[in-house]
Structure 1
């Protein structure tokens, strides 16, 4: 009995030490004043007819005009996607927008704060399944800069920030009704539906959630904790990866070939 009690104490101590270490990783990530400063090549986006500039910001430092702009952009891009849920979700997003832990990337048409913003990324460093992760809360772009590679560019930057900050994964939430976004993340960027997404936690539930949680993991420890299962088949003499993902329309499942 004494040996068993000793083992439990040692295990508890190990768990507490691990949690402390994870919290320190998150704390260290927030201590960085400007995450873009480590990636000067990403401060400009000059492709496909666009000439844009990136800058950092925080939820606690948003001016009233920027708050109003973000609210307006969210409404334009997301009201239709959320449908009847929008009135409730809009209130949630307003609170998230100004949270002191919210980190921002602003995309402007010129390299100074007097010129218009054409997009924002809102992200945080947090803990999921006892792992430090970078969670993307919003990636919103003006319609006229969409479809020109900017979204992929921004997500590549986010992944670099996550790796630099010693995060185990990048995570985000996507509405099932937002089919273009689902295809963008699952097919183009090779994210996966996470094990902690509602469709994986309780796939037979009658009350189907309207969203999926996606992830891209960076180490072996995070893989079994966050990733959904991946199946391999052979097609046309080439091995391709197939993710079986719940559909966001009427069908039960859809296959994504990556």
Structure 2
């Protein structure tokens, strides 16, 4: 009986993941999150799938990742970049892209004498892409979760609330498809992101994080759990986020 229950639970989880992954445009379920119009930005969102990315989109993702992450990884970036390229086009990879119709493309601004800092990296057709979220539906410790592989925004749109908006949408998608948590990985040196997730979004260090299993790594796994089982298996409560961040800053 016990073995049958385990198999039934496993089958139910597999069906849940399959159903969630089959949805082509989860944003359509949350029309209020289709657009972001705040702080001088007018951005709209669209969905994507890793194995169906255009060559132009692949190039954009690689470029933005290098700009935002190469410095944090240092000498490890060459190896990490290869890993990220494989992850980028995986069949399981799901995307939310942010396009800004109000921002001219980089090649248009350069031809009109626009300032370089206002340019976007997007060189393809259509409105400029200014950032993206890459995520997957996964099982962690037999718990169904959305795992955020990347949240990357161009420097020109950072600090304006778009990152919070995108993560709120990810959490809504998680609830919609009965995922019990949202998880992600953050480099320890990335103090800005640590503060963003822990202080602003109330994420906690996961029990699966290297620091919690006695392994020394340059990253932490963070988690926001939505039910009792997920909290018990995946989440480590951090009572004082500011103290946690202060310790990171002292050791950086």
User: Under TM normalisation by the shorter chain, which class is it?
Assistant: 0.7 to 0.9
Equivalent position of 1:161 in the other structure: 173
Distance in 2 of aligned mates of 1:56 and 1:105? 5
Equivalent position of 2:106 in the other structure: none
Which of 54, 66, 73 is equivalent to 2:57?
66
Gaps of 5+ in 1: 1-9, 231-240, 253-258
Distance in 2 of aligned mates of 1:88 and 1:55? 30
Equivalent position of 2:251 in the other structure: 251
Please report the TM-score for the alignment, with normalisation by the length of structure 1. Answer: 0.85
Which of 136, 143, 154 is equivalent to 1:131?
143
Mapped contact 1:176–1:249 kept (Cα < 8 A): no
Gaps of 5+ in 2: 103-123
**DSSP 3-state at the match of 2:144:** strand
Equivalent position of 1:237 in the other structure: none
- TM superposition shift of 1:117: 0.5
**DSSP 3-state at the match of 1:221:** helix
Please show how residues 50-61 of structure 1 align to structure 2 within 5 Å: 50-61=41-52
Does 1:215 find its partner at 2:223? yes
Distance in 2 of aligned mates of 1:182 and 1:24? 33
Equivalent position of 1:121 in the other structure: 133
**DSSP 3-state at the match of 1:222:** helix
Does 1:226 find its partner at 2:224? no
Which structure: larger Rg?
1
- TM superposition shift of 1:229: 3.8
Please report the TM-score for the alignment, with normalisation by the length of structure 2. Answer: 0.87
Between Structure 1 and Structure 2, the one with more helix by share is 2
The alignment's C-alpha RMSD in Å is 1.8
Equivalent position of 1:100 in the other structure: 91
Aligned residues: 229
Does 1:15 find its partner at 2:13? no
Equivalent position of 2:108 in the other structure: none
Which of 183, 186, 211 is equivalent to 2:198?
186
